[in-house]
Structure 1
Amino acid sequence: MLSRILFLAIVFLLQACAAQSQLIKDELETVTKENLKYYLYYPEEYSSSGDKEFGILLFLHGGGESGGELGWIKRNGPPRLLAEGKQFPFLILAPQNPHEKKWWNTHAVMQLLDSVVSSSNVDAKRIYLTGLSRGGSAAWELATQYPDKFAAVAVVCGMAPLPYAHWIEKEMPIWVFHGDKDDVIGVGESDQMVDKLKEMGYNVRYTRYKGVGHNAWDRAYTTDSLYTWFAEQKRIN
């Protein structure tokens, strides 16, 4: 009996060694492609041949505008205001998430943004960021992963990456909007994120709408002072 147990132990040991011998070190360069349709707005005074540089606002829409016609993104936010005739003092880049039920491909968004900035008269120190709902969550993600990119960020009813709040550039102004009756992305997401940022000494303001549900963007993006605030921001470094 003892010899049989010993035999089985040896077999298991040999099998373990054999399994370990299959651990191979290797490397593969991957390429992710994304087809992003987008709108790009130029202010009336913009000139591609002039010397004046402008700021640019990157707007990321919510889930309801994903995966369909590009025109859907005119339903909310700055694209809706543009369709209604509003003028802005900076460029606005509004891509569409091509996937109905996938998160934003933020790496692809950054490639698009960099391409537009490099081919336009844009001041790289005046790149602004905003998003609503699923796009608000992506805006938080971009702010954490690219802390040296944006001059200011405004997030409307988005999920917040609380454990990574300290990754965000501390000198970057932040404005958060949320409705306290939001039953899709609870207001606690923004409450906790704002509290954490303030605790760490960040420059953050918070507009918490009483009695408003998930459509806080209706009020947030019709707040004229939001765009004045954006236009006043510029990265120091």
Structure 2
Amino acid sequence: MRLKALLFILFLFPLVAFAQDKTLFKKEYFVINKDTLPLRVLYPEGFNKSKNYPLLIFLHGRGESGNDNEKQLLNGANLFLDNKNREAFPAVVVFPQCATDSYWANVKIETDEKGKRHFFFRKGGKPTKSMSLLLKYFDSVKRGQYIDPDRIYIMGLSMGGMGTLEILRRKPNDIAAAVAICGGDNVANVRKYAGKVKLWIFHGEKDDIVSPQFSRDVIAALQKRGASPRYTFYPNANHNSWNPAFAEKDLLPWLFGQIKNKGE
């Protein structure tokens, strides 16, 4: 009986440690005109405001929306909490949380009789409430004395992948590089960021939630304008293509190796 209890405790220990790791992402809130954007912020080890650090903003998927300032860490947080990654790539990493009644991207969503969602990306248009808040936060934080203006990055998955491409068209002159996982955009918007931002696009070929064709169309539109986006399609991956994307050994070295307007 004691042996079973001991084994149970040993089994739980890494889970408890794992849960504690996420507290390294500090809870913060950006408030403007009574509207609130929940944030979780991971500062570099030995953070010093007198130094300049890269800024990475990570946009979660639809399932992590809300106002609990917790769920947005479900996917992606572990990548940046990894000790080796923290040591190799010291950066200010921000996970904002989109409201349940809003969306990161300016897209119309229709659900058919079978429950399948269909996405219609808009050309231009005003940002959603959550994206508007995020853009204001972005303008505020990028001016921080400890942020390197030449090393600002955006990364997101699913709804966040769509939001990543939307930020690129709204702030193309502020961002060095971006990673869009299983996202999409109206190809007419591509002209605003083609050749200005280094981009790596990921998608699962078997994605039955957000069609991989959306990513293919964005890539083709970028190439038509002379840009050379990096892209990876996983033949056997469905919607959760972020899992193999996060496992790419070159992902963070590539991302943090990009410097604004200094080559592909």
Provide TM-score, normalisation by structure 2: 0.71
- Change in CA separation of 1:84 and 1:232 when aligned onto 2, cut-off 3 Å: closer
C-alpha distance after superposition, 1:158-186 (max 9, x if no partner): 12221211111413211000000000100
2:160 aligns to what?
135
d(CA) in 2 for partners of 1:224 and 1:162? Answer: 29
Contact kept in structure 2, 1:132 and 1:158, CA below 8 Å: yes
Residue identity in the other structure for 2:59: L
C-alpha distance after superposition, 1:209-234 (max 9, x if no partner): 01100001111123231111111111
**Once the 2 structures are TM-superposed, how far is the Cα of residue 65 of structure 1 from its aligned partner?**
0.3
d(CA) in 2 for partners of 1:140 and 1:32? Answer: 26
d(CA) in 2 for partners of 1:210 and 1:200? Answer: 27
**Once the 2 structures are TM-superposed, how far is the Cα of residue 144 of structure 1 from its aligned partner?**
0.9
1:61 aligns to what?
60
Unaligned runs of 5+ in 1: 1-30
Q: Percent identity?
A: 31
C-alpha distance after superposition, 1:132-172 (max 9, x if no partner): 10011111111112111100011000122212111114132
Residue identity in the other structure for 1:220: A
**Bigger fraction of residues in strand:** 2
2:218 aligns to what?
193
**Once the 2 structures are TM-superposed, how far is the Cα of residue 54 of structure 1 from its aligned partner?**
1.1
- Change in CA separation of 1:102 and 1:89 when aligned onto 2, cut-off 3 Å: same
The reply on whether 1:168 has 2:193 as its aligned counterpart is yes
Unaligned runs of 5+ in 2: 1-31, 105-129
Q: How many residues align?
A: 203
The reply on whether 1:224 has 2:225 as its aligned counterpart is no
d(CA) in 1 for partners of 2:170 and 2:188? Answer: 13
Provide TM-score, normalisation by structure 1: 0.79
d(CA) in 1 for partners of 2:143 and 2:193? Answer: 24
1:20 aligns to what?
none
**Once the 2 structures are TM-superposed, how far is the Cα of residue 83 of structure 1 from its aligned partner?**
4.9
Give the root-mean-square deviation of aligned CA atoms. Answer: 2.0
1:157 aligns to what?
182
SS at match of 1:215: coil
d(CA) in 2 for partners of 1:70 and 1:80? Answer: 16
Contact kept in structure 2, 1:59 and 1:95, CA below 8 Å: yes
